[in-house]
Chains A and B, each alone.
Chain A
């Protein structure tokens, strides 16, 4: 069985500050892990993914995430927040290589203050 927990349903940062969105997972098999972003009234867009290659994964828009097996974590970071980063972020886990059978976390809404 698999599950995902995102700590914090809402995170607020100032423009230029570090963004840290937390994700912990549970999986009985080696996981595939994903971060997606959703802008208002839009679908989900892939930010980055971990598929058992490098543990530090770089994605689009300056985001990156580090897979830490010992902590069962896959936290998302960005060194400097931009106003355009305001959106909802979802962490997801998959136990196979289908790509679309995903277990999602509850989501974290990121607000960026000027």
Chain B
């Protein structure tokens, strides 16, 4: 595996379900991110993790719960979601502290809440 991989690629869940999105980066980076991409809206940064520590939570509802057990893995735990949470969820990683660094994105998980 190379780059940033996300699983599953597609997920359909009911509003009472609990599910998790997984992200793994194979780039040796020290920071990971969750973004939400909804139709007709700009990509929104949800969470930032630097060296496994959460450094940013952009007013995300508590029904989204991130977890970063190590610098290579990032999870997004989902529970009691709403239909408006249906979106493409993108994970990214970067190397903080490197001049001119950039984010590398995974292919995303397409989430549909029914």
- Which A positions have Cβ atoms within 8 angstroms of B? 4, 32, 34, 36, 41-46, 49, 51, 53, 90, 97-107
The answer to whether B103 touches A100, judged by C-beta atoms less than 8 angstroms apart, is yes
Are B105 and A43 neighbours in the complex by a CB distance under 8 Å?
Answer: yes
Whether A105 and B107, one on each chain, are in contact in the complex, defined by CB atoms closer than 8 angstroms, is: no
Q: Which 3 A-B pairs have the closest CB atoms?
A: A99-B94, A99-B101, A51-B100
B residues with CB within 8 A of A: 4, 6, 31-33, 41-43, 45, 48, 50, 56, 90, 92-108, 110
Contacts between the two chains (Cβ within 8 Å), count: 72
Main secondary structure of the interface of A (DSSP, over half): loop
Q: When chains A and B are docked, how far (Å) is the Cα of A46 from the Cα of B102?
A: 8
Question: How far does the Cβ of A40 sit from chain B's closest Cβ, in whole Å?
Answer: 11
- B43 touching A101 by the CB < 8 A rule? no
11 contacts between A and B (CB under 8 A): A43-B6, A43-B107, A44-B92, A45-B105, A97-B98, A98-B31, A100-B92, A101-B45, A101-B48, A102-B103, A104-B42
